[in-house]
Amino acid sequence: MATGAIKLHESGEYRNLAPLNLYDSPQRDSLATQAATGRHLRILSLPNGEESPLRVRLCEDDYPGWLAPEAVAQLEPTAPYMAVEFSEMEIRDFIPEVIEFMKQAMAKPNHYLWGGTLGPNYDCSGLMQAAFASVGIWLPRDAYLQEAFTLAISTDVMQPGDLVFFGTPLKATHVGLYLGDNRYIHSSGRELGHNGIAIDSLGDDGGQVSRNYRRILRSAGRVTRSYHPGNLLDLQPD
């Protein structure tokens, strides 16, 4: 079936030629995530016609979503995605660059965007994923998946570059990057946060936003590997 400029196949792998928005339903009412130019994706179901949305799964993090029909024109067939191995030591060496990415993102005008991963507007886990992806390290997309993926550590032994998680006793719903000295950087929404990227404190010296999140502090995790496709089911809660 010809749609757009290419013939689509469910078994094929594609590369996007421009940034794309992925939505959480065929109606495309809510953004699920975004894909920077050069991401790989697989088609999960072929559209019913040229005006139908396309269900896909991004290869680097196994994240599913729906594409607008006009986005098909931005896809090209490509060789299968190959994940890159990183040692824990290599990842630690990249942490200064990850932190610098976040600080540069904070320096630009921005606001919190649910599903945002491209910038200048991010959600919390989208900022984490984009910062690590900037050095070639892939994390799962959502905060609760990032918590399950990282090596669990005590908040007492956190190092710069570790992830700090917030939420309910059942699930992580927010994530920030620890900077040291009880400070962390994160993109937070309007209700509890700054409506954008800012630095807050885990200690008693922060403002209202710091207190809001300190009340729901949940856990900490260390990035010791890069995500490999096919592992997402292992990270899902029971």
Residue-wise pLDDT for 107-154, tens only, equals 999 999 999 999 999 999 999 999 999 999 999 999 999 999 999 999
Task: Give the model's confidence band at 8: pLDDT under 50 very low, under 70 low, under 90 confident, else very high.
Answer: confident
- The pTM of this model reads 0.94
Inter-residue contact 12 to 1 (CB < 8 Å): no
Beta strands in the chain (DSSP E): 2-3, 6-7, 13-16, 20-23, 31-35, 40-45, 54-58, 64-67, 75-77, 151-153, 163-167, 172-180, 183-188, 196-201, 217-222
Tens-place pLDDT, residues 163-184: 999 999 999 999 999 999 999 9
Between CA 162 and CA 129 the distance in angstroms is 13
Inter-residue contact 175 to 128 (CB < 8 Å): yes
User: Is the per-residue pLDDT at 50 higher than 80?
Assistant: no
Domains and CATH numbers, the chain: 2-77 (2.30.30.40), 88-235 (3.90.1720.10)
- Locate all alpha helices (DSSP H) within 54-182, ordered by sequence: 88-107, 124-133, 143-149
